Structure 1
């Protein structure tokens, strides 16, 4: 299964060919979306992380009824782990989406080595910590936390979480 693609500038999921930006030679960019990157360059080279967070936050606020300030802060948290802003690509768990910045955040394989795909909360000793968890159950589990954290309606949090989980390889089948 192909690893989920997320724009490393704005965080937008890139699911279809038209979502991807282009390199100078016209080939598809593997890192950036069409809104952020065209012909091998950023479409807004001078934009700051704060300005990008305001743009993304405004969209999230409107789509999911998140108070504006909370949406902007959440967007900024998400941007900090993307290649354009972090200077490197920080891996995210392919089950829950958590960025894995510290060694302790990586799950483990059967042999004790770190997993390159899953976090410690989702995966230990080569197995999922909740192997029977369905996508629907994951939405029910994570949406209330998201709703409380962002002060948004639970029904909107469910839509947001389900939409996000669908981009992750564990749930993309």
Structure 2
């Protein structure tokens, strides 16, 4: 099963049991089991700030990120998810960048907008770094993440590696 990301909390959903349920008992296509059961949110009145505090606390503990940085980063990530943005915002299936504006999207050979990849990863119908491996991407992105969040590099490598595993380019 291809991994997806919960559009409420951002949790990777890789296994069948990770997915929430709709009213009819079928698996939700958008929300995880912790956020969504029987067609409704498990915490209907939770705010994005409250959700960011919860997610930030987990990230802070797992990856040794200072709490303030983890909460801020969590809120940035949540703000791009359908539950909080009010619309689906596509993420690059190579690096994970949210593609909010037209100029964020990569381009196909015919100049049309790629629905999968950002301008930094994909231009003129091809990857800008076609031979980049997932391991090389981790080594490329982890130092930036470590600096941005003031976290240990080794923890950043774990975090980036886990996140990249949810993206299409690295699942194919």
Q: TM-score range by the shorter chain?
A: over 0.9
> Which whole-Å CA distance do the structure 1 matches of 2:157 and 2:4 have between them?
21
> Which whole-Å CA distance do the structure 1 matches of 2:47 and 2:6 have between them?
16
User: For residue 44 of structure 2, what is the aligned residue in structure 1?
Assistant: 45
Q: Secondary structure at the match of 1:158?
A: helix
User: Aligned residues, how many?
Assistant: 172
User: For residue 138 of structure 1, what is the aligned residue in structure 2?
Assistant: 137
User: For residue 20 of structure 1, what is the aligned residue in structure 2?
Assistant: 19
Q: Deviations over 1:49-106 (max 9, x none)?
A: 0000000000000000000000000000000010000001101100001110000000
1:111-130 to 2 correspondences below 5 Å: 111-130=110-129
User: For residue 96 of structure 2, what is the aligned residue in structure 1?
Assistant: 97
Give the C-alpha shift of residue 5 in structure 1: 1.2
1:62-77 to 2 correspondences below 5 Å: 62-77=61-76
Segments ≥4 residues shifted beyond 2 Å: none
Structure 1 position 87 matched with structure 2 position 66: no
Q: Secondary structure at the match of 2:117?
A: strand
Give the C-alpha shift of residue 172 in structure 1: 1.4
Structure 2 residue runs of 5 or longer lacking an equivalent are none
> Which whole-Å CA distance do the structure 1 matches of 2:143 and 2:96 have between them?
16
User: For residue 167 of structure 2, what is the aligned residue in structure 1?
Assistant: 168
Give the C-alpha shift of residue 124 in structure 1: 0.2
> Which whole-Å CA distance do the structure 1 matches of 2:6 and 2:65 have between them?
22
> Which whole-Å CA distance do the structure 1 matches of 2:114 and 2:31 have between them?
25
> Which whole-Å CA distance do the structure 2 matches of 1:121 and 1:75 have between them?
23
> Which whole-Å CA distance do the structure 1 matches of 2:59 and 2:19 have between them?
20
User: For residue 110 of structure 1, what is the aligned residue in structure 2?
Assistant: 109
Q: Which has the higher strand share?
A: 2
